[in-house]
Structure formats: structure tokens, C-alpha cells
């Protein structure tokens, strides 16, 4: 399965080139929240986005009719289509093209704002678009309407694994012959007081308020929780024959996918990491390769104490010897369901360019974490295969295997 286009809106860069440069630089985008007053909460930090080029992609009228969740999805989707050198999806292909999108929370932040308007000024103050914006499928269907796509359209809400599951299921769909071209990825716009506060209340967020750039610390001994972010990433996935016939540039290939569930706890992973390991094993089996052939891993590594420890245990158990691991949430934060799609894009770019981005804010690995990490600078790699992990609340696990395309740099 060919990845032929990438569109991204993220705190470290919007557009594939700026996003890649931001990841390679490894500079943290985390700061004190400006979107709302966070003083009631223990955490005051987020990775926000400013100055998005929405007007370059959507008309003012179209923009006004969309909440931020759908705006981000359309921005990333339209970028991805342009990046794949499609002026538009051809008419003959529109019934064989669709959208699979993941989002943990969908339009909940917009709903929160409208609820406050209702409390302050009554029902007449509520935006008429509320019912059409809050449901999880709003962004994917808006994107399909924007592009005129009549193929399968599915939105999933599988917590922080959502974006990876959307990509994996789109991969399966194309491989089975159900589509030829899919836009797949994730979008998230969670930065609203109650939404943010819900995660602060359960102590999932970093409370390193005195040092925002150092707050998100994947695998680090001093990590204390994740930093919430916003963003979106959509990939163009094409059936090989179609991509070849049009001479498409290919970033990387998707060759395997697996998903499992811990069935253990809503917020804590299984201590033995058995289902996380099995998820990776399923993806490897689907790709028909061995663990020894994986050259680098884009870890989920959200910087939660239990989550990072369980992922490290699963990786160490599966691989024995350690492939190169990079974890980028120290730079761009954690945009929940959108982040796995962002990080899948980074893995594809790392395979194409032969460089892996740094693991920002990893100063000293936690005790018992015996993995080989990228350092404070990008490192050259010659990996043929890479693995992307995504783990979410509810014990949802997803893994993708990507392969370097022959056209990539050696």
C-alpha cells in the first residue's frame, strides 16, 4: 500500500515540509495555555497552534460553518491531496475513494463552548450547526463532501489509538479491493476548559508548570504525564497499481497492521504488556516479516509513568536486541487520536529520508528501560522496515509496519 501524500497541522509545523523540519529540530512547542484560564487545574500546559493557514484552503463561508475539529481535518486532507499531486480526485475514482478518520473526542470542545453559551444566554445563543458538528463523523463527512468522495467513510473514537486504527483499517480496505484511494488519519481539537480539565482531574497531565518546554518527557525517569495538544494528519493511501500508473511519488509502503485490547483497565495498561506485544506480533505477521527485520520504532511514549513502562516492557520482550526507538511527543505534545497519524507520517518520512528525529526531553531513561533511543539530534538510519505503536485508554492497542520504498534515499 503506497503512502503518496501527507497533510499535517501540528504545533511544530503545518504542511509536510515544516512538520518534518520541526520534528528534526526537536524543539518543544509546549507552553502555558493561552486558549482559556487553566488556573483551576493542576496542569497549565498545552501544545497549541497559532496562525493556521485556513484561509488559504477554505472560503470564509465554509470556514464559518465548521468547528475547529472539522477545520483541522479539512486543512490536513486538502494538503495531503495536493502533496500527492492530485488537483482533485478524478470523477472515475470518486466511488472508489473514501475517508477513514480517528478522533478520541471529535467536536466535544465546540459542544462545550455552545453549552456555556446556552447557560449564559439561553437556547437562542446556541449555534445552529451544533448538532452537525459534535458527532465523531462530522470531520470525515465534511472532508468527503469537500472532495466529492462517495466511497467508504468511517470515523472511529478509539482513544489515543484512533489515528493508527483509521490508517490500518483503510490499508485493509484497499488491500481487500474495497477501495483504490483513501484519506486516512486523525484530527483532534480538545483544548477547552472542561475537556482539558477532565484529564487534569485524573492526574494524566504533566504538572511541570515551571518549565513548559521540558514537561513532555517520553521514557524519561522524571516524566509525570502527557501534555495535551491539538492537530491533524491525513495520509493519501493508494492501491499500488493506481499509484504506479500515474507515476506517483511514494513516501513509504504500509505492509502490516495489528490491533488488540488489554481488557484490563480504562486508564492503566496491563503490567505484563502481553496484549501490546501481541499487537506488534500481529502487525509483523501481517507484514510477513520477523522482529529482527525492524530497524526503527516510532513509539507511542506519551510520557505517562505506567504507559511508557508497559510499552518498554513489550518492546524489550518482543525484540530482545533493541531497534532504534524514537518518541516525538516531547516536541509536539499529545493530540490524542490525531497523534498516531502524525507519528505514522514521521515514520514514513524517516524511512524516506534516512534520518530519525530526536527523542526530545529524554535525559535519563527510566529504570529498567533498556532501549536504544535517538539522541538530542537526528540520526542516520538505513532501516528497511519501521514499526509504529499507538496505545489508548480502554486498553486499545494498534501497530503499523511501514517499509522503505526503493525510490527512497539509501
Which residues form the catalytic set?
160, 300, 334
Q: Which three cell numbers stand for residue 378?
A: 537526528
Neighbour-count burial of 218, counting CB atoms closer than 10 A to its CB (0-12 exposed, 13-18 middle, 19+ buried): buried
Q: How far is residue 55's CA from residue 273's CA, in Å, rounded to a whole number?
A: 45
CA dist 271 and 314 (Å) reads 10
CA–CA separation, 190 vs 112, rounded Å?
10
Helix (H/G/I), strand (E/B), else coil: 306 = helix
Strand partners, 252: 3, 404
Contact by Cβ (8 Å): 32, 45: yes
Among candidate residues 28, 391, 32, the one with its CA nearest the CA of residue 207:
32
Residue with cell 513489550: 314
* 16-25 vs 339-353: helix crossing angle, rounded to 10: 80
Q: What are 258's strand-pairing partners?
A: 399
Residue of 344, 358, 352 lying closest to 387 (CA atoms): 344
Helices (H), 176-287: 193-201, 240-245, 274-287
Task: For residue 259, give every residue at least 6 positions away whose Cβ sits within 8 Å of its Cβ, in sequence order, or none.
Answer: 161, 165, 168, 279, 282, 396, 397, 398, 399
* Integer CA distances (angstroms), 46 to 77, 121, 208, in order: 24, 29, 11
Amino acid at each position: 500500500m503506497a503512502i503518496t501524500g501527507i497533510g499535517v497541522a501540528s504545533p511544530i509545523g503545518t504542511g509536510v515540509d515544516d512538520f518534518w523540519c520541526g520534528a528534526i529540530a526537536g524543539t518543544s512547542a509546549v507552553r502555558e495555555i493561552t486558549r482559556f484560564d487553566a488556573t483551576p487545574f493542576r496542569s497549565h500546559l498545552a501544545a497549541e497552534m497559532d496562525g493556521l493557514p485556513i484561509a488559504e484552503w477554505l472560503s470564509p463561508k465554509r470556514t464559518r460553518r465548521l468547528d475547529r475539529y472539522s477545520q483541522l481535518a479539512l486543512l490536513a486532507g486538502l494538503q495531503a491531496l495536493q502533496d500527492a499531486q492530485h488537483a482533485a480526485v478524478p470523477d472515475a475514482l470518486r466511488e472508489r475513494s473514501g475517508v477513514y478518520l480517528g478522533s478520541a473526542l471529535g467536536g466535544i470542545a465546540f459542544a462545550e463552548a455552545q453549552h456555556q453559551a446556552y447557560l449564559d444566554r439561553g437556547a437562542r445563543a446556541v449555534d445552529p450547526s451544533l448538532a452537525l458538528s459534535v458527532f465523531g463523523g462530522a470531520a470525515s463527512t465534511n472532508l468527503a463532501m469537500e472532495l466529492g468522495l462517495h466511497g467508504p467513510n468511517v470515523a472511529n473514537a478509539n482513544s489515543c489509538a484512533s489515528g493508527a486504527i483509521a490508517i490500518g483499517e483503510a490499508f485493509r480496505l484497499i488491500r481487500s479491493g474495497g477501495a483504490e484511494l483513501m484519506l486516512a488519519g486523525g484530527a483532534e481539537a480538545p483544548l477547552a476548559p472542561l475537556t482539558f480539565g477532565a484529564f487534569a482531574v485524573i492526574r494524566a497531565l504533566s504538572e511541570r508548570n515551571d518549565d513548559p518546554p521540558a514537561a513532555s518527557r517520553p521514557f524519561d525517569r522524571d516524566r509525570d504525564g502527557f501534555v495535551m495538544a491539538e492537530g491533524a494528519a491525513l495520509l493519501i493511501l493508494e492501491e499500488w497499481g493506481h499509484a504506479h500508473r500515474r507515476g506517483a511519488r511514494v513516501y513509504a509502503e504500509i505492509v502490516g497492521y495489528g490491533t488488540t485490547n488489554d481488557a484490563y483497565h480504562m486508564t492503566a495498561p496491563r503490567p505484563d504488556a502481553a496484549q501490546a506485544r501481541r499487537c506488534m506480533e500481529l502487525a509483523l505477521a501481517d507484514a510477513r516479516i520477523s522482529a529482527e527485520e525492524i530497524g526503527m520504532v516510532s513509539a507511542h511514549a506519551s510520557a505517562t509513568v505506567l504507559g511508557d513502562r508497559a510499552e518498554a516492557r513489550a518492546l524489550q520482550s518482543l525484540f530482545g536486541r533493541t531497534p532504534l526507538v524514537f518518541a516525538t511527543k516531547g516536541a509536539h505534545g499529545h493530540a490524542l487520536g490525531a497523534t498516531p497519524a502524525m507519528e505514522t507520517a514521521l515514520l514514513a518520512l524517516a524511512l524516506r529520508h534516512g534520518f530519525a528525529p530526536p527523542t526530545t526531553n529524554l535525559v535519563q531513561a527510566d529504570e529498567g528501560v533498556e532501549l536504544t533511543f535517538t539522541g538530542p539530534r537526528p540520526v542516520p538510519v538505513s532501516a528497511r522496515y519501521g514499526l509504529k505503536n499507538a496505545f489508548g485508554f480502554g486498553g486499545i492497542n494498534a501497530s503499523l509496519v511501514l517499509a522503505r520504498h526503493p525510490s527512497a534515499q539509501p
